[in-house]
Amino acid sequence: MTLSLHALTVPPLVRALKALSTLLTKAEDSAKARGFDPANLLSARLAPDMFALTRQVQIVSDGAKGGAARLAGVEAPSFPDTETSFAELHQRIDNTIAFLESLDPVKFDGDPDRPLTLKMGGQEFTFTALSFLQTFVLPNLYFHVSTAYAILRHNGVPVGKRDYLGA
């Protein structure tokens, strides 16, 4: 059995985004049950020099759509970072999933060892398509989903490993 780059990319990204959406739902429900404004959680962070929950979700979205788009050789949609509510974060996640699911698997075809260059922070990083997925896209995605999870756990939201892993 041969695995396609699409199969290695889109399903794990979608699964992580759906798990993140579940975490956000549980956060909002928990805040309401405990009698405080759920919006307070949106600015929560683990340390003063870390991004807040809202930014973690935005980075997951950007990394998922940007990474998949580069691997498919298409343009990623641009989403402004203007979310100020749980509803808006859910919409962003839904829009990201819709984009990922719209990608033609054939666009991912080709040599997994083909070069892929990423320009970031004034530097260029060269990967193979497969190493870009394995060493950049997925680790970054999981880091920011884990950080969002940790922010919520730290703030008393009753989430566990099964919530993080997704259905």
Residue spans of the domains in the chain: they are 5-165
Residue 1: per-residue pLDDT: 56
In sequence order, which residues have a C-beta less than 8 Å from that of residue 7 and are 6 or more positions away?
Answer: 105
Q: Taking the model in full, what pTM does it have?
A: 0.95
Superfamily of domain 5-165 in the CATH hierarchy: dinb family like domain (1.20.120.450)
Number of neighbours of residue 97 by Cβ within 10 angstroms = 20
Residues 6+ apart with CB under 8 A from 49: none
pLDDT digits (tens), the chain, 167 positions: 577 999 999 999 999 999 999 999 999 999 999 999 999 999 999 999 999 999 999 999 999 999 999 999 999 999 999 999 999 999 999 999 999 999 999 999 888 999 999 898 999 999 999 999 999 999 999 999 999 999 999 999 999 999 888 76
CB burial string 7-45: b at 16+ within 10 A, e below: ebbbebbbebbebbbbbbebbbebbeeeeeebeebbebb
